[in-house]
Amino acid sequence: MSSSIVALGLPRKPADWRLIPAQQQAVNMLWNSDCVDLVLLEIRASDMNATNLLKTLKERHPDVPLIIMTTFASKEMAIRALRCGADDLFEKPFNVEQLNECIGRLLQSKNVIGDSSSDMDYVRYYLRRNIDKRVAIEDIAQLMGYTPKYMSAFFKRETGKTFTEFCVDQRVEKAKALLADSDYPVKQISYDLAYENPESFVRVFKRKTRLTPSQYRRKLAERVPDSL
């Protein structure tokens, strides 16, 4: 039998993929491991031993999702694979986005990854911790184990904003806090928020608040006596 196994373990983000081209090595590793969250099994030849391998994997990890990839898919093979415990089967060439969606759905159903709200909470936390860096959608996608296209749609669905708009709003809110609670110069705040230059920061801040950072700070100072 010519096959390879990709075992996906998610003890932490980003996802940890292990490619295991040798069948016996894969079986041994999976049999002795308790940290397997998903298995992608590639079958390169139509071989009856595939059934035995599927049964072996499901015997050791009955709750671990298992996806088959093959060039030799047939109705009979699909039925046999599903009866042996496979969760899905993809015939090559297949749509990578559909495979990613299937992986995400299976992992979420097994509680390996959280629901969309907990994913969003994690992303918010990560962006807050890295607000002094330029984080791209590709970075978030890699962090969460998804594709950039999926994460872009995820942000739009969860926040009603694009990823870029979301990051801009977070930086503006952080800038407001720094302007209110510190005496940092506007130039320093702009660099602390990963802007290339103060002019860009001032332009974005004014577009969002209709005030320059200096005007915003002065307006806050004028309100202080009224609140005493």
Confidence (pLDDT) at 146: 82
The Cα–Cα gap between 157 and 3 comes to: 38
Q: How confident is the model at residue 142 (pLDDT cuts 50, 70, 90)?
A: confident
Structure tokens at 7: 């075992």
The Cα–Cα gap between 154 and 26 comes to: 34
Q: Of residues 153 and 115, which shows the higher confidence score?
A: 153
The Cα–Cα gap between 26 and 4 comes to: 8
Residues 150-208 pLDDT 10s:
889 988 988 999 999 999 999 999 999 999 989 999 999 999 999 999 999 999 999 99
Q: How confident is the model at residue 2 (pLDDT cuts 50, 70, 90)?
A: very low
Radius of gyration of the chain (CA): 25
Structure tokens at 200: 């860009």
Confidence (pLDDT) at 33: 62
* Averaged pLDDT for residues 136-162: 88
Greatest mean pLDDT among 47-61, 73-87, 145-159, 184-198: 184-198
Q: Of residues 79 and 123, which shows the higher confidence score?
A: 123
Average pLDDT, the chain: 77
Question: What domains are defined for the chain?
Answer: 3-109 (3.40.50.2300), 117-227 (1.10.10.60)
* Averaged pLDDT for residues 58-79: 74
Q: How confident is the model at residue 93 (pLDDT cuts 50, 70, 90)?
A: confident
Residues 6+ positions from 213 with CB-CB distance below 8 Å: 175, 179, 186, 189, 201, 202, 205
Does the pLDDT value for residue 49 go beyond 80? no
Question: Strands across the sheet with 3-9, in order?
Answer: 16-20, 3-9, 38-43, 66-70, 88-91
Confidence (pLDDT) at 15: 46
Asked if 195 and 175 touch (Cβ cutoff 8 Å), the reply is no
Whole-model pTM: value is 0.50
Q: Could you write out the DSSP letters of every residue in 158-169?
A: HHSS-HHHHHHH
Confidence (pLDDT) at 32: 66
Please report, as a single letter, which amino acid is at residue 190: S
The Cα–Cα gap between 147 and 224 comes to: 47
